[in-house]
Every structure is written in structure tokens, then in C-alpha cells.
Structure 1
Amino acid sequence: MVGQDVVYANLAGPMERQAQTIVRAMAAAGVRRLIFIASMGIYDEVPGERYGSVLDPYRKSAAVIEASDLDYTVLRPAWLNDRDVIAYGTTEKGEPFANATKTVSRKSVADLVVRLATTPGLQPRASLGVHGLA
């Protein structure tokens, strides 16, 4: 990580342990900016839905990231699709997840990741729900 400006993490498996390792490695390397992919529903913010323990890995890893002193942005995308479209909206942590029934394109999530990675100061220490518009 030494010499990097941004770390992007989109993980599976033992996510809490991986998040802890990322936080430690970033601190050791002096890297501050992290874009971390979690899942919609980790804060029970999807109206009418309760995903329960299936989201525990995402919930616990996001908690590790949020407890760090990193300049992080946690992204919580809706269900993904493969459409060739960039059309999305976001909601902040603490707000109900908007348009939870609309999937979001992978291309849309990638667009947001690139914007976050290339725009210093965009959405620091934030957790954003990402939903489709099209």
C-alpha cells in the first residue's frame, strides 16, 4: 500500500478480519483514503426488509471501518445488474434506503467508485446506499 492514494476493497469471506487487516496496513503505510463495498440493509435501513444475520459479515466489517480514523466511504449497493447504463442515486447512513426494489448496474457502482477515488474530499467518513434509477 505504500505510495498509494486510495485503497478499494470489495471483499467476501472473513470480512471483519479482512477489514481489520486493511485498517492496520493502511495505518502502517500512511494511506488515508478507503472505498469499501458493503451491502444495503446493514443498518436495517431498507423499508419493509430485515436481512438479519446473513448481513453480519458486511455489518461487522463496516463497523471496523467506521471505528477507524481513515478517510473512508462505505458503499452499500442495491442488488446488482449487468445493464449498460450509469443511472444511480444515493442515500446517507440514517436515511431509509431509496428505491430498494430497483437494481443498480455494476457500471453505476463503478462510476461512483471512480468519482470517489479521483475527487479528494468527496463523501469523507460517509456510508452511502446506492440504488438504481433506470
Structure 2
Amino acid sequence: MSKVLILGANGKIAKLAETQLLSDTQHQLTLFLRNAKRLNVNDVSREQVVEGDATDQDALEKAMAGQDVVYANLGNQDIEKQAKTVVAAMKATGLKRLIWISTLGIYDEVPGKYGQFNHQMLDGGYLETYTAAAKVIEASGLDYTIVRPAWLSNKDIVSYETTEKGEPFKGTEVSRKSIADLVVKLINDPSMAVGHSLGVNQPNTDGDKPSWY
């Protein structure tokens, strides 16, 4: 059993991971988010909610006390600042294992027309900030895994494959449920994919853009 701190616990992927962790594991969960009223606790014996901002190092350090794994499901214009603060808080508290959700395209690794589509949709403040945040994580010295999902769907399916940093990205889409499943696997096996940056896609979804465009 591990103690897991989920940052950005009200996110869609985070909620799916929380559900799977409660049903498939015995881990203790700390759910960290800016507005605690937005979240309902599903199991009071295994979960606690902490209200705080991921750019507040003191709040993060308090939440990290006694934890084993940090799963960061963060994302907005402050993502680089969040990355720097999470890294600083983990170093201050001696925590090493970090699972960091990012996005595809941060290494310009998406080929062809889909890569062009991705740039058109994400350039101008989004892709650049996620790229900067990933650089912070990679330079942190922590036992990190970066997860780079394809465009996300709400399909009720768990089907995915991964690519490594330096390899062309595959596919155009992946379900949030698939990303949650990968996160749970990473939490369950702390040695899995340490120091790796994983592109994640649903097999056989190659194309110029996701199916809903």
C-alpha cells in the first residue's frame, strides 16, 4: 500500500484514476485542489481532501508530508510555475516519485499533417508552456515519468500504446480512461518508466486529426 498525493484532483483523468485506485488497490489518497467544495469524497477511510494551490510551496509541502507518490494532473497558463513549485516542494520533503501529465507535441514529435494540426491548435501559449514545464521536470533529478496523451476523448474504453521521447508520436487520440489506467499502473509499480517521457495513443487511430474534427 502506498500513500498517493493527487494534484489537480478535480480533473477528469484524476477522477477516473481515483475511481480505479479505490476499486483496484488499497492505496491511501490525498486529493489536492484549489476548491475543496468541488469534490466529493468517495471513501472517507482512504481519502482526504486538501485545499490549496499548486503554486503555493508551503501548501504543497504540508500535503506531501508522509506521501510516497505524487501524481500531478495540473494544467493552465501557470503550468511552468506549477512544475517549479512541485519540484521544489518534493525536494524539500524528500519525495522522489512523480507522475506528470503533459501533452503531445512538446518535443515537436508529432509527424505529418497531424503534427501541423497540433501546432495550429496548440501554439500560441499552450504548447510552449507545457514544453517549458516538461523541461523543469526532466531537469529535476526526481524519479519522474512524463505522460504525453494524444487528443483526449471520453470514450469508455481502455486501449493504448506508448512511444518514447525521441520516437515519432503514433495515433491521433486516446481515451481519458486509458490515461487513468496508465497512471494507476505507474503508481502500482514505482520503478516503471522512471526517467521516461511516454507518448500515449489508442492504436489504429492514425490520421490527419482526431476523429471528432
TM-score (norm: length of structure 1): 0.94
How far 1:47 moved relative to its partner?
A: 0.3
- What corresponds to 1:75 in structure 2? 147
Match of 1:119 in 2: 189
Structure 1 counterpart of 2:175, one-letter code: S
Map 1:5-24 to 2 at 5 A.
Answer: 5-13=68-76, 14-24=78-88
Looking at CA atoms only, which structure, 1 or 2, has the larger radius of gyration?
Answer: 2
- The 8 Å contact of residues 97 and 190 in structure 2, kept in 1 or not, is answered as no
Unaligned 5+ segments in structure 1 are: none
Q: 1:88 maps to which residue? A: 160
What is the identity, as a one-letter code, of the residue corresponding to 1:110?
A
Alignment length (residue pairs): 132
Aligned equivalents of 2:193 and 2:81: distance in 1?
25
Identical aligned residues as a percent: 57
CA distance in 1, matches of 2:73, 2:154: 17
Deviation of 1:17 (Å): 0.7
1:123, distance to aligned residue in structure 2 (A): 0.2
Contact 1:34 1:73 in 2 (8 A): yes
**Counterpart position of 2:170:** 98
Rounded Cα–Cα distance in structure 2 between residues aligned with 1:120 and 1:75: 14
Q: Is the 8 A contact 1:2 1:30 kept in 2?
A: no
| Matched residue SS, 1:61 | helix
> Which residue of structure 1 aligns with residue 99 of structure 2?
35
Question: Which secondary structure state, in structure 1, belongs to the residue aligned with residue 144 of structure 2?
Answer: strand
CA distance in 2, matches of 1:119, 1:68: 21
1:82–1:107 CA contact under 8 A, matched in 2: yes
Q: Deviations over 1:16-68 (max 9, x none)?
A: 11100000000111110000011000000000214244301110000000001
3-state secondary structure, aligned to 1:8 = strand
1:133, distance to aligned residue in structure 2 (A)? 2.3
* Equivalent of residue 108 in structure 1, options 164, 173, 178: 178
Instruction: Tell me, in whole angstroms, the C-alpha distance in 1 between the residues paired with 2:100 and 2:139.
Output: 13
Runs of 4+ that moved beyond 2 A? none
**TM-score using structure 2 length:** 0.60
Q: RMSD over aligned Cα, in angstroms?
A: 1.2
Mind listing any 5+ residue stretches in structure 2 that lack a counterpart? 1-63, 205-213
